[in-house]
């Protein structure tokens, strides 16, 4: 279904939105999994973060973001924001005549498939943990699974500052992993778009504290795989152009960035999350 | 001047606003300095933080907050937010027919009075440092003063989490103080409402790294002293009621809290910044 209610357009872009720039880790994973797709990204940088805000406010903001993506003719919407994925996906599915994919359910499904002891840890913002969304999503996968949530507020500024190695990220990771290790989990979901930047230190400390077979699930990569399956099943994958085939270029998809405010360190922060130079962003008012 | 353009009303409340709950450290300092004043506080918790947003957006938000305080009949407005104090006080003074006091100029004046070597360090959010507001305010006090700004992004989540002792706040303080120690400053301004909660660790590390005579200026206390002088000079201090005098109560002033969104951990966070139980907050829509 397209926004206009007609047949789906394979060549239409994928829409992705987040409260800020952290969702660019999802764009990075999508570009790796689906190099030929065009992506329209909206970061609501004027109102970031959503994690501390109430469900009504977050839902209102999410409807505004999704509306902008619909106006750009997207074929599906990926909610890169854990907070929005926790409170608003059903409302967005009802209001929009479009497929809407959040980050929480794919992460929960991957965790349920990976755990051998039926104990799963979740590291996320205080807001996401308090929402209980991962606990519900894991319970929907298997009633045997026990979920252990741990807020990790320091990880966001550490990721934004690029302070991803050394004693402070290590001590922070140990503090946040300690209750999960005590609980005996064997899978840890990184339930915030910022945390993939700290993947190495979290994985190293988790292996030391929990055991070498612990699985760390980066929800950006998980959701990208799920979006790829979703598009394939519904025959919505963008066709690779004959020209690209002939020239054997690595990818043909383009990314268009929209923000609601241009943060002072936009280029640096965006490049950190995207893993490459981000190009210019267009500022819009929601 | 009152909002209605009439004569000032001593018994009218003081208005204080901030992007979130951090400004309650300013309320705490005001209550200590001016125990008989009524205070109306507005925390724009639906749009916190302002520090990452552009000057135009921040000014628009600040006008909305100040307008709400004016509607409550305040006699003066204290901008507890460093970001707003950096970009919007002149605009607020022009738009409102009321005295408007920010946090940056009082902090800069106190630093200029305290420094012996004419080198002043400023710890603040990335946004406040990038604005150059402290550098300009210090230059306005004395052209001899050199200002050294250092963004300290980890201090906000550490304060909010109550993680104010131990290795991580110590290492973070060392990292952020190191360039200031190298520059040879003898005064450090804490230019963010959250930082007073980390006063002890910052002071201890600063004494070790800079020297025992370093002065740490907590801008909340500095602005409270300046507000007290301002009200006294203009004969705007609230009269202590005869009943309170007779009963010898410690203070008669009340605090009324407004927020634009009720954060999930409102009570705990508010109490941390206010230094006592905060009572209920009224939610408004701006």
Q: Is A64 exposed, middle or buried (0-12, 13-18, 19+ CB in 10 A)?
A: middle
Domain match, A213 and A251 both:
no
**Given B52, B158, B175, which is nearest A48 (Cβ)?**
B52
* pLDDT of residue A6 exceeding 60: no
* Domain at A142, CATH number: 3.40.50.1860
Domain match, B209 and B230 both:
no
B266: domain range? 14-102+221-283
Quickly state the pLDDT bin for A111 (edges 50, 70, 90): very high
Domain match, B215 and B266 both:
no
Q: What is the pTM of this model?
A: 0.80
CB contact under 8 A, A47 and B47: yes
Residues contacting B132, CB < 8 A, separation 6+: B149
Quickly state the pLDDT bin for A125 (edges 50, 70, 90): confident
CB contact under 8 A, A153 and B160: yes
Domain boundary residue, one of B219, B243, B268: B219
Highest mean pLDDT among A1-5, A127-131, B246-250: A127-131
Task: Show the beta-strand stretches assigned E in chain A.
Answer: 14-18, 39-43, 76-79, 100-101, 119-124, 146-151, 187-190, 215-218, 255-259, 281-283
Q: Is residue B93 part of a domain?
A: yes
Distance CA B223, CA B106 (A): 6
Task: Show the beta-strand stretches assigned E in chain B.
Answer: 14-18, 39-43, 76-79, 100-101, 119-124, 146-151, 187-190, 215-218, 255-259, 281-283
Q: Map tokens 């936009």 to a residue.
A: A266
Which pLDDT score, from 0 to 100, does residue B5 have? 43
Structural domain total, chain A:
2
Which pLDDT score, from 0 to 100, does residue B186 have? 98
What six digits make up the tokens of B90? 């002149």
Contact B91, B67 (CB under 8 A): no
CA distances from B242 to A110, B5, B75, B239, B252 (A): 69, 29, 22, 9, 11
Q: Which residues of chain B have pLDDT under 50?
A: 1-7
Residue B194 CA, chain-centre distance (Å), reads 9
Computed over every residue of chain A, the mean pLDDT equals: 91
Over residues A181-225, the pLDDT tens digits come to 999 999 999 999 999 999 999 999 999 999 999 999 998 999 999
Concerning whether A141 is annotated as a catalytic residue, the answer is no
> Does A45 lie at the interface with B, CB-CB under 8 angstroms?
yes
Which pLDDT score, from 0 to 100, does residue B111 have? 98
Closest chain A C-alpha to B151 CA, distance in angstroms: 10
Domain match, B274 and B184 both:
no
- Judged by average pLDDT, the poorest of A17-26, A197-206, A236-245, B181-190 is A236-245
Which pLDDT score, from 0 to 100, does residue B178 have? 98
CB contact under 8 A, A175 and B168: yes
Q: Indicate the SS3 state at residue B111.
A: helix
Q: Is residue A5 part of a domain?
A: no
State percent of chain A over pLDDT 90.
73
Over residues A257-271, the pLDDT tens digits come to 999 987 667 888 899
> Does A130 lie at the interface with B, CB-CB under 8 angstroms?
yes
φ, ψ of residue B99 in degrees (nearest 5): -65, 135
Domain match, B92 and B175 both:
no
Q: Is residue A181 part of a domain?
A: yes
Q: Is residue B4 part of a domain?
A: no
Q: Work out the average pLDDT over A94-115.
A: 95
Domain match, B166 and B262 both:
no
> Does A126 lie at the interface with B, CB-CB under 8 angstroms?
yes
Domain match, B176 and B279 both:
no
Q: Is residue A1 part of a domain?
A: no
Q: Which chain B residue's Cα is nearest to A56?
A: B261
Contact A19, A81 (CB under 8 A): yes
Domain boundary residue, one of B187, B219, B251: B219
Domain match, B61 and B201 both:
no
Q: Work out the average pLDDT over A72-88.
A: 93
Residue A279 CA, chain-centre distance (Å), reads 20
Domain match, A115 and A97 both:
no
> Does A162 lie at the interface with B, CB-CB under 8 angstroms?
no
pLDDT greater at residue A56 or residue B179: B179
Which pLDDT score, from 0 to 100, does residue A29 have? 95
Which pLDDT score, from 0 to 100, does residue B8 have? 54
Q: Is residue A148 part of a domain?
A: yes
Q: Is residue B7 part of a domain?
A: no
Which pLDDT score, from 0 to 100, does residue A242 have? 67
> Does B111 lie at the interface with A, CB-CB under 8 angstroms?
no
Helical axes B167-183 vs A167-183, angle rounded to 10°: 170
Q: Work out the average pLDDT over A30-58.
A: 89
φ, ψ of residue B107 in degrees (nearest 5): -60, -45
Whether the bond between B195 and the residue before it is cis, its omega within 30 degrees of 0, is no
Which pLDDT score, from 0 to 100, does residue A27 have? 96
Q: Is residue A130 part of a domain?
A: yes
Domain match, B31 and B138 both:
no
Domain match, B98 and B110 both:
no
Domain boundary residue, one of B196, B219, B242: B219
Candidates A122, A192, A257, A274; catalytic one: A192
Nearest Cα neighbor of B104 from B133, B141, B146 is B133
Domain match, B208 and B248 both:
no
Quickly state the pLDDT bin for A4 (edges 50, 70, 90): very low
Q: Is B63 exposed, middle or buried (0-12, 13-18, 19+ CB in 10 A)?
A: middle
A-chain CB neighbours of B20 within 8 Å are: 52
Distance CA A98, CA A96 (A): 5
């Amino acid at each position: 279904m397209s926004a206009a209610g007609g047949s789906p357009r394979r060549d239409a872009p994928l829409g992705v939105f987040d409260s800020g720039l952290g969702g660019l880790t999802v764009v990075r994973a999508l570009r790796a999994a689906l190099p030929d797709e065009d992506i329209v990204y909206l970061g609501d940088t004027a109102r970031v973060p959503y994690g501390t805000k109430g469900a009504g406010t977050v839902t209102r903001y999410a409807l505004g973001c999704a509306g902008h993506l619909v106006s750009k003719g997207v074929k599906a919407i990926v909610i890169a924001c854990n907070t929005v994925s926790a409170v608003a996906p059903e409302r967005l599915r009802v209001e929009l005549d479009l497929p809407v994919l959040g980050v929480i359910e794919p992460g929960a499904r991957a965790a349920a498939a990976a755990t051998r002891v039926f104990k799963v840890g979740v590291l996320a913002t205080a807001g996401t943990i308090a929402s209980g969304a991962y606990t519900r999503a894991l319970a929907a996968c298997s009633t045997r699974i026990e979920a252990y949530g741990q807020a990790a507020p320091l990880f966001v500024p550490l990721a934004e500052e690029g302070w991803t190695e050394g004693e402070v990220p290590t001590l922070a990771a140990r503090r946040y992993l300690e209750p999960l290790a005590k609980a005996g989990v064997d899978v840890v979901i990184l339930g915030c778009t910022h945390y993939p930047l700290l993947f190495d230190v979290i994985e190293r400390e988790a292996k030391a504290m929990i055991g070498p077979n612990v699985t760390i699930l980066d929800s950006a990569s998980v959701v990208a795989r799920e979006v790829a399956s979703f598009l394939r099943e519904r025959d919505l994958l963008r066709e690779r152009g004959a020209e690209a085939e002939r020239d054997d270029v690595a990818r043909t998809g383009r990314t268009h960035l929209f923000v609601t405010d241009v943060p002072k360190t936009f280029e640096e922060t965006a490049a950190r999350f995207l893993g490459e130079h981000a190009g210019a962003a267009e500022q819009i008012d929601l």
